[in-house]
Chains A and B, each alone.
Chain A
Amino acid sequence: MSNRNSPLPDLTSAYRRLVGTPGEGKKKLNWRVWVLGVFGIVMMLSLTQQFAKLETSDLTSSGTWLIALAWSVPILMAGLGGIFSERVGIVNIGLEGMLVLGTFFGALGTLLYGPWWGMVIAAIAGAFGGLLLAVATVTFNVDHIIAGVAINIMAPGIARFMASIHFPERGGSITQSPTIVGVSTFNIPFLAGGSIGGWRSPDMLGAIEDWDWFFVSDLAGIMRGFSSGMSWLGLVAILIVPAATLLLWKTAFGLRLRSCGENPHAADSLGVNVYKYKYYGVTIGGALAGFGGGFLAVQLSGLYREGQTLSKGFIGLATMIFGNWRPVGTALGGLLFGFAETLRLRDPNAAHGLLLLVGLSLAILMLRALYKRKTRVAGWLGLATAGMLYWYLSTDSVPNQLPKITPFIAVLVMLIFATQRLRMPAADGMRYRKGEGG
């Protein structure tokens, strides 16, 4: 892939190095890229924090990042659901609907049997949505997007109807469940002061965060965000990321799943039951999305509310593309959106500070373009940087709608500039009939 005219850093190949080439040809992780990238990002956040101190104190605080991590879970799960579905070649626009099913059934299950069973029921409900999509697209060959849209129309209908039966009599309403309680949370001992058998260990990262040193405390804050206040369900979600990677790239099952999305006729000619694996992939994908929906209702919101998914299924889909159809990349994308969402919830003023962050990023990209002698690109980036800085300096706040739509703008910008580097499964979205073609 050439990187002509692209003003974005080479994210995808950075991911490639991060994730390695798929399968057995896996190269060693390039730790330098990894570490450099993380430090770069933290440094930028640090700088912004420094300049915009009066407006926000939250860009690098552990509180922000623990919430960001939690709020990234539904998006991440939707994205992983998308990966499983699209890796077997089924485009899954119905993730939003599966998420909705997850929120409702997660809440209902929690009311009836407690949060753990609630999450199981949420995953089953999502899997049911996936199964429905598989029946339509695999068995009946319906266009994938049409089938997904149908699920997105139907899922809220089911949720609403069932809610109107179940929730009013339990102290909720047609559009809302009574409050529910999720599972408990924990801190990691020593790092974030978690307790071992009743003994409270020292909170090392917390202490460093309190020093309030430039960069060092910021880094500690972010790391503490990842090691404290985590729910056990969140831990399950995070562990699913490496598990999915291993499953897809290291096992026979995973290879067969992926082969259905790359060249189903080849798989079929080798005796792989393509229909079966497509069903597996889409159903697993649905279960993951259902889990994500359940997490949103049970753990994050403490209730089911109609429309609470707020397009997280679609954002998940976008995150999957952002992550180039790979779990780790998708997880990073999910974290980004979780972060944006958190700032909106916690600290609306931070959005104004973020203008500075965007301005700084643009400036760095401009320098990079200059270094690569792409003057035209650099010119545009310079203009954008100036505009962003002018916006930052000439105003005290941004419309409160802006943070809400930031993730969507981010995805759009990402797609506009990085489409050429993305590689979707070769047979993604295509209808497949056994025996046809080849």
Chain B
Amino acid sequence: MASAVVLEGITKRFPGVIANDGVNLDVADGEIHAICGENGAGKSTLMKILYGMQPADEGRMLIHGEEVKFASPKEAIALGIGMVHQHFMLADNLSVLENVVLGAEPTKWGAINFPEARTRILAIGETYGLKVGTRDLVETLEIGERQRLEIIKVLFRGARILILDEPTAVLVPQEVEELFRNMRELKAQGHTIIFIDHKLDEVLEIADTITVIRAGKTIDTVKPEDVTARDLAELMVGSELPTPETRESTVTDHVVIEAIDATANDDAGSPKLRGVSLKVHKGEILGIAGVEGNGQAELVEAIIGMRPLTGGVISLEGERMKGWGVRKRREAGIGYIPEDRTKRGLLSGFPLWENAMLGHQSMEPYVKNAFWIQSDDAREQTKTVVEQFDVRTPGVEVAAHALSGGNQQKLIVGKEMSADLVALIAAHPTRGIDVGAQAAVWEELRHARAAGLAVILISADLEELIGLSDRLVVILRGDLVAELDPASVTPRDLGSYMTGASVQERST
């Protein structure tokens, strides 16, 4: 078969780092080609180069044998390349049709030809089994529908080569199957698909060819029938895989955090938590599994005090926290590793020592009498955190934005853990960081547990949840629907509880 895409020696540098270092890739026409690599390996950067969003510093690109250079996605689109981004590129307040035609509008007398656009979109839907309502506002669509819309956008532009950047990251297993059906349909119609993923079972299931990238370099290209998941994993990481397993149980029967029938609303005022009851014990990691948007974010915010309860009780060490602000809860010993570190966890323009102070700005040693900042003591404390938690930085005066994601996360985990805690809420603590930092964070969570903290762990990484938790609960539509033993549950089972495909009789 001829090659649809050939990349040779692609190199891309950013200030201080090399994202792609001489990457080679050969994608045959009409195949599903998976690109595997862990976070930070340079996969997305490579795809952005192929799609014309960023120029490569070095290297050649050949599309169907012709050497090309893209100055913008427009040129890539013109050659039949389309990309579905990891974070959907949709405008919520525009209709489905407007999102699809944007940039490639069929026009008549200078105006958009709405009937023609609608006909073409519906025809694509027919051909590939991708159905959406053209008049709906995108904000009303579900995740799966949005992804279909993204694929339609690409096909509308006549793409023959589709790049899917971690399309399964936001989907539950059942939705993944739907996506794979669509992908097989596309392949049957002669499209070429480049598919980025790091979930190995998925890759082995769908891909015709697999290329592994590590640290910005191509490691190997293999066929799925020749390798096992274990082989792939070792190619990706380059060494023995770290596993997130905890050792012997340290769980006690001393309840630290307890929620009874807690209910809360989202920002728009509709109920998001519908009577959650849970107990977290000293020395225990309670894992909370759930598809995003089912109330776990609201639960975390309710415990830390950012979201008022509309009913029920949450207590700490037997004391009701009603009316306590975030500060009081933190002073009482609740630590918080936020879900999105750039949004909730960092002051990116501030030096590290002020970032370490964040969340502890009413506490010693950072501040005296809860009023006067002790900058020398704060710097010393930050240096201790940096050393203990292996934050790689030239110093504590460096602004937080200058650090890599993994080091930022280590700083956040470190400054939380070095405070005097009784409980820790860790929301997606390893999201978007490299494998080394991931292992370090797992180690710290185990330390926290061993030190007698009550830990609540929320994660989309089901293996992480299963590996670290002492107990697992599943949240669905604002309700805890199942309690599972991590020792016996598989990610697939967990997935079906998360989507409501399996239902458990509630014991309490």
- The answer to whether A and B touch directly, with their CB atoms under 8 angstroms apart, is yes
A: residues with CB less than 8 A from B are 2, 4, 21-25, 246, 250-252, 255-256, 258-259, 262-263, 265-273, 423, 425-426, 435, 438
Given A252-B112, A256-B103, A438-B87, residue A269 in contact with residue B95 (CB < 8 A): no
Provide a sorted-by-A list of 5 A–B residue pairs whose CB atoms are within 8 angstroms: A22-B93, A251-B111, A262-B93, A270-B89, A271-B74
Of A21, A269, A426, A435, chain B has the most CB atoms within 10 Å of the CB of: A269
**Contact (Cβ within 8 A) A269 B89:** yes
A257: min CB distance to chain B, Å: 11
A438: min CB distance to chain B, Å: 5
Give Cα A4 to B137, complex, Å.
24
Q: Which residues of B contact A266 (CB under 8 A)?
A: 89-91, 99, 102
**Contact (Cβ within 8 A) A255 B102:** yes
Which residues in chain B, 65-90, are within 8 Å of chain A measured between CB atoms?
Answer: 72-75, 77, 83, 85, 87, 89-90
Give Cα A114 to B91, complex, Å.
45
**Contact (Cβ within 8 A) A438 B91:** no
Given A269-B73, A270-B104, A271-B103, residue A262 in contact with residue B94 (CB < 8 A): yes
Give Cα A24 to B96, complex, Å.
10
Cβ-neighbour of A24 out of B87, B93, B97 (below 8 A): B97
B269 within 8 A of A: yes
B: residues with CB less than 8 A from A are 48, 51, 53-54, 72-75, 77, 83, 85, 87, 89-95, 97-99, 101-105, 107, 110-112, 114, 117-118, 134-137, 153, 157, 269
**Contact (Cβ within 8 A) A2 B269:** yes
**Contact (Cβ within 8 A) B93 A255:** no
Given A271-B74, A425-B93, residue A256 in contact with residue B102 (CB < 8 A): yes
B316: min CB distance to chain A, Å: 32
Residue of A nearest to B110 (CB): A251
Supply 19 further A-B pairs (C-beta < 8 A) apart from A21-B95, A24-B97, A267-B103. A23-B95, A23-B97, A24-B117, A25-B95, A25-B97, A251-B112, A255-B94, A255-B101, A255-B102, A263-B90, A265-B89, A266-B89, A267-B91, A267-B102, A269-B85, A271-B74, A271-B104, A435-B53, A438-B85
Q: Which residues of A contact B91 (CB under 8 A)?
A: 258-259, 262-263, 266-267, 426
Give Cα A250 to B114, complex, Å.
9
Q: Which residues of B contact A262 (CB under 8 A)?
A: 91-94
Give Cα A258 to B94, complex, Å.
9
Give Cα A245 to B248, complex, Å.
67
Q: Which residues of A contact B114 (CB under 8 A)?
A: 24
**Contact (Cβ within 8 A) A271 B94:** no
Q: Which residues of B contact A2 (CB under 8 A)?
A: 269
**Contact (Cβ within 8 A) A268 B73:** yes
Cβ-neighbour of A25 out of B53, B74, B105, B135 (below 8 A): B135
A271: min CB distance to chain B, Å: 3
Cβ-neighbour of A23 out of B74, B83, B98, B103 (below 8 A): B98
Q: Which residues of B contact A252 (CB under 8 A)?
A: 101, 105, 107, 112
Give Cα A271 to B48, complex, Å.
13
Give Cα A246 to B91, complex, Å.
20
B155: min CB distance to chain A, Å: 13
Q: Which residues of A contact B110 (CB under 8 A)?
A: 251
Residue of B nearest to A1 (CB): B268
A324: min CB distance to chain B, Å: 12
**Contact (Cβ within 8 A) A263 B89:** yes
Give Cα A269 to B54, complex, Å.
11
Give Cα A76 to B252, complex, Å.
69
A19: min CB distance to chain B, Å: 14
Cβ-neighbour of A273 out of B72, B105, B136 (below 8 A): B72
Q: Which residues of A contact B157 (CB under 8 A)?
A: 270
Q: Which residues of B contact A270 (CB under 8 A)?
A: 73, 77, 89, 102-104, 153, 157
Given A251-B111, A255-B101, A269-B53, residue A22 in contact with residue B94 (CB < 8 A): yes
Cβ-neighbour of A269 out of B83, B112, B269 (below 8 A): B83
9 residue pairs, one from A and one from B, having the closest CB atoms: A271-B74, A262-B91, A270-B103, A252-B105, A266-B89, A25-B135, A263-B91, A24-B114, A269-B89
Q: Which residues of A contact B93 (CB under 8 A)?
A: 22, 262, 423, 425-426
Given A24-B114, A251-B111, residue A263 in contact with residue B83 (CB < 8 A): no
B46: min CB distance to chain A, Å: 14
Residue of A nearest to B54 (CB): A435
Q: Which residues of B contact A21 (CB under 8 A)?
A: 95, 137
Cβ-neighbour of A271 out of B73, B90, B269 (below 8 A): B73
Give Cα A263 to B93, complex, Å.
9
Cβ-neighbour of B95 out of A22, A251, A272, A425 (below 8 A): A22
Q: Which residues of A contact B107 (CB under 8 A)?
A: 251-252
Give Cα A263 to B89, complex, Å.
8
Q: Which residues of A contact B98 (CB under 8 A)?
A: 22-24, 255, 259
B303: min CB distance to chain A, Å: 27
Give Cα A263 to B157, complex, Å.
19
Give Cα A268 to B89, complex, Å.
9
Give Cα A382 to B75, complex, Å.
64
B187: min CB distance to chain A, Å: 23
Give Cα A412 to B73, complex, Å.
44
A346: min CB distance to chain B, Å: 41
Q: Which residues of A contact B95 (CB under 8 A)?
A: 21-25
B93: min CB distance to chain A, Å: 5
Residue of A nearest to B77 (CB): A271
Q: Which residues of B contact A23 (CB under 8 A)?
A: 94-95, 97-98
Residue of A nearest to B72 (CB): A271
Q: Which residues of A contact B92 (CB under 8 A)?
A: 262-263, 426
B84: min CB distance to chain A, Å: 10
A254: min CB distance to chain B, Å: 8
A195: min CB distance to chain B, Å: 35
A91: min CB distance to chain B, Å: 17
Of B89, B103, B137, chain A has the most CB atoms within 10 Å of the CB of: B103
Residue of B nearest to A437 (CB): B87
Give Cα A21 to B98, complex, Å.
12
Give Cα A272 to B98, complex, Å.
13
B158: min CB distance to chain A, Å: 13
Q: Which residues of B contact A25 (CB under 8 A)?
A: 95, 97, 134-137
**Contact (Cβ within 8 A) A272 B103:** yes
Q: Which residues of B contact A24 (CB under 8 A)?
A: 95, 97-98, 112, 114, 117-118, 134-135
**Contact (Cβ within 8 A) A272 B102:** yes
Q: Which residues of B contact A263 (CB under 8 A)?
A: 89-92
Residue of A nearest to B74 (CB): A271
A75: min CB distance to chain B, Å: 26
Q: Which residues of B contact A259 (CB under 8 A)?
A: 91, 94, 98, 102
Q: Which residues of A contact B97 (CB under 8 A)?
A: 23-25
Give Cα A246 to B109, complex, Å.
13
Give Cα A435 to B72, complex, Å.
11
Q: Which residues of B contact A4 (CB under 8 A)?
A: 269
Give Cα A23 to B75, complex, Å.
27
B279: min CB distance to chain A, Å: 35
Q: Which residues of B contact A256 (CB under 8 A)?
A: 102-103
Q: Which residues of A contact B90 (CB under 8 A)?
A: 263, 266
B91: min CB distance to chain A, Å: 4
Q: Which residues of A contact B53 (CB under 8 A)?
A: 268-269, 435
Q: Which residues of A contact B99 (CB under 8 A)?
A: 266
A54: min CB distance to chain B, Å: 49
A294: min CB distance to chain B, Å: 28
Give Cα A146 to B1, complex, Å.
58
